[in-house]
Amino acid sequence: MSVQIQFLGAAGTVTGSKFLLSTGDYRILVDCGLFQGEKQLRELNWHPLNVPASKIDLVLLTHGHLDHTGYLPLLVKYGFKGKILATNPTIDITKIILNDTANINEKEAKRANEEHYSKHRPAKPLYTIKEANNVNSYFRAIPPSRWIDLKKDMKVRFTYVGHILGATFIEIELSGKRFVFSGDIGRTNDLLLYPPLKPKKVDFLFLESTYGGKLHPEELEVIPLIENLVNETIDKGGSVFIPSFSVERAQLMMVILHQLSKENKIPKIPMIVDSPMGLSVLELFSRTRDWHRLTESTFYEVCKEFKIVSSFRETMEYRDHVEPKIVIAGSGMLTGGRILNYLETQAQNEKNTLLFVGFQADGTRGRKLLEGDQEIKIFGKTVPFKMKVAEIEGLSAHADQDELLSWLTELKNQPERIFLIHGEKDASVALQTKLKENLNWNAEIPELFDLIELIP
């Protein structure tokens, strides 16, 4: 049986994860994410895949983040009729994120048409809430750590990998070979999640490399940095705004800020989580205790300390309040979401602080501000940017270089081929070099749309 892989996303970039594994008569798409960041990548979201959606038999999801699931409504729109397999938490998160994304898409298109700042006449959402909900009937929940038969001589297993609730690495057995897709690998000492489980065997490895060239400080080491940053900002009379992914990252920040407040290390000021999906994600944490470390008592303590905002009317009220506060809002890379509504009015206040606690992809508003941009474009307007910008990398949900190498330590064999994905070029090259130095393993760095024969 011949086997091919085509890299339809997350090749040379950290977004748009899509990997098409083909056996001639059967096609499996591992992840189905949206591109974010650079315009030429984002424009790909508006087009069908290189392979007709109707020809794809199955979708497997490593986890629920937008860059791994956000293209699903379009895949269905273009004719996909198969099944989408994932763990129960991943399905729940994907439904929440797709609905939220569609809601943002519709609102931004409506505003663009009303204020005439889009070059498109009329501006249209990438997909609608109805199209997002059309995906739901295709989901099938898969238990973790159990082999599932797909067809004769082909099976799949989903195994816990940290990162966010429900996240797994995916193993596919076919033609006597094991194909392993790492997804996004979590941290070894995460404050919320358990350490990633590790693969024991792999013939063809598709390994993320987001932080392939960096080492993170420990999460406990960065908490004093957050304490100092909050106190400095509040002492000036400013507010702290934290762009955050609404799943895991926002909850981790809630736990950290709650602990600092409980220990009287930061002032008692309003703390807000502004996300339409905030309540849904918190409810999901309550239902999925096997997937995280958070105890029931701590969970309810944390929730009581925060104001959870879901209505847009409340957002517009809070963004104009002048008293010091801490606001956690999506999206994590400033590519959209409620955080932009706050920055629209608060970006020019030099007393405020914008704190990044997650990866900022190349070309995103977040990356541009970290690189020193003095203005930000929001809803068609250019807004001068005078806030203090800070970044704390130790809170990343992605494994660093040492943790990526550690994830491979239980392998009983050397992979035949290794492909480094989900990383910008420098990060992938750094990990490629380290694999060669430490293990004498050769790794390949594919480019977008590469089609490679794995088994003749």
Under a CB-based contact definition with an 8 Å cutoff, are residues 224 and 256 in contact? no
Cα–Cα distance measured from residue 191 to residue 257, given in angstroms and rounded to the nearest whole number: 13
What is the structure's pLDDT at 1? Answer: 79
pLDDT digits (tens, 9 = 90+) for 155-214: 999 999 999 999 999 999 998 999 999 999 999 999 899 999 999 999 999 999 999 999
Residue 364's pLDDT is 94
Q: Are 404 and 212 in contact (CB under 8 A)?
A: yes
Higher pLDDT, 320 or 347: 347
Q: What is the pLDDT of residue 159?
A: 98
Considering Cα of 427, then 432, then 437, then 438, what sign does the dihedral take?
positive
pLDDT given at position 272: 96
pLDDT digit string, tens, across residues 210-258:
999 999 988 778 999 999 999 999 999 999 999 987 788 899 999 999 9
How are strands ordered across the β-sheet holding 154-160? 148-151, 154-160, 168-174, 177-181, 204-208, 417-421
Q: Average pLDDT of 30-47?
A: 96
CATH 3.40.50.10890 at 219-394, yes or no: yes
* Per-residue pLDDT tens digits for 2-24: 999 999 999 999 999 999 999 98
**Tens of pLDDT along 114-168?**
888 888 889 999 999 999 999 999 999 999 999 999 998 999 999 999 999 999 9
Residue 327: both structure tokens together: 């606001």
Band of residue 376 on the pLDDT scale cut at 50, 70, 90: very high
Rounded-to-integer distance, Cα 42 and Cα 440, Å = 36
% of the chain with per-residue pLDDT over 90: 83
pLDDT > 80? residue 277: no
Q: Do 3-214+397-455 and 219-394 share a fold?
A: no
**What are the residue boundaries of the structural domains of the chain, listed by start?**
3-214+397-455, 219-394
- Asked: is 3-214+397-455 a CATH 3.30.450.20 domain? The reply is no
Q: Encode pLDDT of 72-119 as tens digits.
A: 999 999 999 999 999 999 999 999 999 989 998 999 999 889 888 888
With a threshold of 0.75, does the pTM exceed it? yes
